[in-house]
Amino acid sequence: MYLSNYFLPILKNNPSEAQIKSHQLMLRVGMIKQSSSGIYSWLPMGFKIMKKIENIVREEQNKIGAQELLMPTIQSAEIWKESGRYNDYGDEMLRIKDRQGREMLYGPTNEELITEIFRSAIKSYKLLPQLLYHIQWKFRDELRPRFGIMRCREFLMKDAYSFDLNDDDAVLSYNKMFLAYLKTFQRLELSAIPMAADTGPIGGNLSHEFVILAESGESKIFADKRIFDIKTEKYSLTNVSLKNMRNEFEKYYAVTDDKFNNKDFESKVLKNNRLITKGIEVGHIFYFGDKYSKALKASVDLQDGKKTDVKMGSYGIGVSRLVGAIIEAKFNNNIMKWPYSISPFDVAVIPMINKNDDTNLIKAENIYNKLKKNNIDVLLDDTDENISSKLKKFDLIGVPYQIILGKNSEQDLLEFKEIDKEAKQLSINEIIKILTTKKK
């Protein structure tokens, strides 16, 4: 992509309406545009990053055997009356009347609808377990939307739901998802820690919030800091391994403020290990047994002819919110560096272009074509801005690798720089090798 063609409306200054750095950066580099209060359009660069995150989330769901489907955004109120949540939900639910006067709503979550899909399709214990998910826009009519896409009204989530025969099987599903979440956040280069959490209006008694540390976080967390050192690579999808993983995490106190108890904290955590800080919730998993299956009559036939209500869990990841969370974690000292796995481009080519001298631009175009031929996604800054403005701009765009064609690039040795690190002089073939290896 040539920058002059790219729909990337960069602002000269930080927008005054934004209080936290993710909101500032996203408006500043034209990743999003507010369309109305708490509702945003995703412009090409923001959209591309979000899609890459979505895809990592999807791949990790597929790896544990979850099957993707898609529920609609607009739901009938009927099924929410069956579960009893239609009145409970309050003003955050966007309630709608259609032209026939029927009560509808924009789904704030999907336990009811997925239970209805399950109950109409699965009648026998033989077809359990089932693990279904979708990635869909939701709407919550926040009283005070703020912080850009971090606390907005229309947002993209991955929601998964598990259906099992009994508690043991259900906990196995829960643990698989627990591991999938750890792997998902690792691929996003985030250290997201599972914290014991309250289940709130979803119900049930087993729940974890996955939280990344950030000053701007809205969740207060209390943890034994050794929980951050757990290595998860050794765990696999077997029942035994997953139990060991859960046990290792349970060893360390780590809770959100709903669950906080000071006596527990002080007795279980040595002073030196105590961490009290703020975090951003990026995922939340719940096990709530038969809460919805009972209300909605989602039962299966057993071998002995009896019926039993299935045991359910639900598992959310805030896909659009992760874009902001990653910025909160990675944007420091006015320099953004996207994790390579979700970077909008693999590399930026930044030529110093002098008036009446297109030598560097031609050289840049040759490099661009060579990179393209090697399947490297490249952004070429072909504008006539001066080089120091360009470099400042690319600090915000956050492409993690740069090829700078200025006074430090000579003939076949190019100035190659990982953002926030020292520059090197490398040949184009060496650069291609580095970028290709990173991609794997």
Cβ 433 to a copy of itself shortest distance, Å: 25
Choice between 139 and 174, CB closer to a copy of itself: 139
| Footprint on residues 31-60 left by a copy of itself (CB under 8 A) | 33, 35-37, 39-44, 47-48, 50
Among 27, 64, 132, 150, binds a copy of itself (CB under 8 A): 132
Cβ 40 to a copy of itself shortest distance, Å: 7
Give me the phi and psi of 119, to 5 degrees please.
Answer: -65, -25
**How far does CA 359 lie from the centroid of its chain?**
42
Choice between 48 and 278, CB closer to a copy of itself: 48
Start-to-end CA span in the chain (Å): 22
Rounded distance, CA 63 to CA 296, Å? 29
Give me the phi and psi of 438, to 5 degrees please.
Answer: -60, -35
Tell me whether residue 410 is exposed, middle or buried, using C-beta atoms within 10 angstroms of its C-beta: 0 to 12, 13 to 18, 19 or more.
Answer: exposed
Q: How many residues bind a copy of itself (CB under 8 A)?
A: 53
Among 59, 65, 234, 297, binds a copy of itself (CB under 8 A): 65
Choice between 94 and 150, CB closer to a copy of itself: 94
Among 18, 71, 295, 413, binds a copy of itself (CB under 8 A): 71
CA of 176: how far to CAs of 62, 63, 84, 182, 287, in Å?
11, 10, 30, 10, 13
Give, as one character, the DSSP assignment of residue 146: B
Among 53, 113, 361, 435, binds a copy of itself (CB under 8 A): 113
Among 74, 276, 302, 362, binds a copy of itself (CB under 8 A): 74
Question: What single-letter amino acid sits at 244?
Answer: N
Rounded distance, CA 138 to CA 145, Å? 14
Rounded distance, CA 366 to CA 181, Å? 42
99 binds a copy of itself (CB under 8 A): yes
Choice between 85 and 208, CB closer to a copy of itself: 85
Mark the segment that binds a copy of itself (CB under 8 A) among 86-94, 196-204, 220-228, 415-423.
Answer: 86-94
380 binds a copy of itself (CB under 8 A): no
Contact 370, 432 (CB under 8 A): yes
Structure-block tokens of residue 31: 């990743």
70 binds a copy of itself (CB under 8 A): yes
Contact 200, 108 (CB under 8 A): no
Choice between 128 and 285, CB closer to a copy of itself: 128
Cβ 4 to a copy of itself shortest distance, Å: 8
Mark the segment that binds a copy of itself (CB under 8 A) among 61-69, 165-173, 261-269, 356-364.
Answer: 61-69
| Footprint on residues 8-27 left by a copy of itself (CB under 8 A) | 9
Among 91, 384, 412, 420, binds a copy of itself (CB under 8 A): 91
297 binds a copy of itself (CB under 8 A): no
Cβ 293 to a copy of itself shortest distance, Å: 17
In 3-state terms, what secondary structure has residue 17? Answer: coil
Among 17, 59, 88, 98, binds a copy of itself (CB under 8 A): 98
CA of 46: how far to CAs of 183, 323, 343, 398, 431, in Å?
23, 8, 10, 12, 26
104 binds a copy of itself (CB under 8 A): yes
141 binds a copy of itself (CB under 8 A): yes
Question: What single-letter amino acid sits at 155?
Answer: F
Among 21, 30, 210, 353, binds a copy of itself (CB under 8 A): 30
Q: What residue has token string 């979700």?
A: 342
Cβ 154 to a copy of itself shortest distance, Å: 5
Q: How many CA atoms lie within 13 A of 167 on its CB side?
A: 5
Range 429-438, long-range pairs (CB < 8 A, 24+ positions): 431/347, 431/403, 432/370, 432/371, 432/374, 432/376, 434/401, 435/346, 435/347, 435/371, 435/374, 435/376, 435/401, 436/374, 436/375, 436/376, 438/340, 438/346
Binding site for a copy of itself (CB under 8 A): 5-7, 9, 30, 33, 35-37, 39-44, 47-48, 50, 65, 67-76, 78, 91-92, 94, 96, 98-99, 102, 104, 106, 113, 116-117, 120-122, 130, 132, 137, 139, 141, 143, 153-154
